[in-house]
Structure 1
Amino acid sequence: MLKWASEKLQPSDLVHVRSTPSRQSWKQDGEKHYGYGFAVNEPTLLAAKPGKEAEPAKSSLAAKRSR
């Protein structure tokens, strides 16, 4: 997906992203810390910069859903 984003996206493009949230916790220096992350499952270019056509991402999840 990073390759798709670097090739297809430009500043000011409007993107919709489906993601899976996750929560982590770990101990460091005797203290418990918490963090949140998001795994991008399906990005979609909604509106491209003027002069560029919108094109959906070709992610593995999108391919699985179309089968």
Structure 2
Amino acid sequence: MSQAQERRKAEAWETHHKESHENSVKELQEMKARLNTLDQSSPEYAALKVKYDEQYQAAEDFFMKYYES
């Protein structure tokens, strides 16, 4: 990747993607904290765990795709 492409990628991260990714990570941390307070056999835990797993995977996929490009 050329220096110009690297610079554009870094600028895109700072101006567009960083805040979104940080918000997603914060939401994941809040969900994880909530999961830790719930009974693992409850329906609420099961529903939140599915949502947490999906959001975690989406955040990981985005982060890996962004840095692989």
Bigger fraction of residues in strand: 1
TM-score, structure 2 as length reference = 0.24
Bigger fraction of residues in helix: 2
TM-score, structure 1 as length reference = 0.25
